[in-house]
Amino acid sequence: MNISEERIALGRSITLPEPWCSADVVVVLPTYQEAANLPTVVRALFDLPLPGLRILVADDNSPDGTGRVAEELADQYGRSRLEVMHRPGKEGLGRAYTAGMSKAIAAGAEFVVQMDSDLSHGPEYLPQMLGTLVSTEADVVIGSRYVAGGSVGAEWPRHRKALSAFANAYVRLLLRLAVRDATAGYKLWRASALKTIDLQTVRSGGYSFQVEMNYRSARRGLKIIELPIHFSDRVEGKSKMNLRTQLESALMPFSLRRYTT
């Protein structure tokens, strides 16, 4: 058992009663260079007590063969449970999510999950997120690092923790958001909420997608709940964050402040 498998094995998930546990949930996994992580996260998701869960992998033509690995997993688990979108190239996290979410909604999903494919977001939190969303009649539940009980991995260097805290404070101040973890990427949505947001008009192509989705949700009066999670650093591969995506993320709040629709 490798480190990532051990970490997931140690996780604990709750079991929801019917009809919640059999809800039609589609998890959108955007991938680029995640061949080493994808089998582990897919197995962990299908091990959850959520028999209605399906997975949609949106791969940006990864040079490491992630798309091929995804196809092998679709054969292994069944193509009714795991679908693969092969996109022409690396177009950004936001573009992958909007494409995957739109496809999930068109296929009739009741709930749509966005989460990283690198094992930073523990799959074991999903049943609790679903139970919280349904029981509170929320529109979106955010897996949050920055509410009481939330945390980040001890392996995070001090400068990364400081940068993350600053980014959240900066975004919240500029956009007047009440969300504590404004840059979080682990969310469970009602399909109806995504339709209200209008995915086809989302501007962000990169990591600022997370902020824009929160802003649009708040502007439309959607009910947002934050649930504490532990955010772990990736086990395999390298972060996709680069200078270009950092600049986009820094400038996007100013653009969104002019967004009025």
- pLDDT of 236 > 70? The answer is no
Helix (H) or strand (E) holding 69: helix 66-77
SS (H, E, C) 146-212: CCCCCEECCCCCHHHHHHHHHHHHHHHHHHCCCCCCCCCCCEEEEHHHHHHHCHHHCCCCCCCHHHH
**Mean pLDDT lowest for which of 63-77, 151-165, 183-197, 210-224?**
151-165
Average pLDDT of the chain, as a whole number: 87
pLDDT score, position 7: 43
- pLDDT of 238 > 70? The answer is no
**Residue-range domains of the chain with CATH:** 3-257 (3.90.550.10)
In DSSP notation, 82-100 reads EEEEE-SS---HHHHHHHH
User: Taking the alpha carbons of 176, 179, 185, 188 in that order, is the dihedral positive or negative?
Assistant: negative
Question: How many Å apart are CA 182 and CA 175, to the nearest integer?
Answer: 10
Higher pLDDT, 17 or 51: 51
Long-range contacts: 130-137, Cβ < 8 Å, 24+? 130/16, 130/20, 130/23, 130/25, 130/50, 130/188, 131/14, 131/16, 131/20, 132/225, 132/227, 133/188, 133/190, 133/225, 134/20, 134/23, 136/223, 136/225, 137/223
pTM (two decimals): 0.87
Contact 126, 48 (CB under 8 A): yes
Confidence label for 241 from pLDDT (cuts 50, 70 and 90):
low
pLDDT score, position 67: 97
- pLDDT of 70 > 60? The answer is yes
Q: Could you tell me whether strands 111-114 and 187-190 are parallel, antiparallel, or unpaired per DSSP bridges?
A: antiparallel
Mean pLDDT of the 14-33 span: 90
Digit-coded pLDDT (tens) for 177-209: 999 999 899 999 999 999 999 999 998 877 889
Q: Rounded to the nearest 5°, which phi and psi values hold at 248?
A: -60, -45
Question: How many Å apart are CA 151 and CA 219, to the nearest integer?
Answer: 28
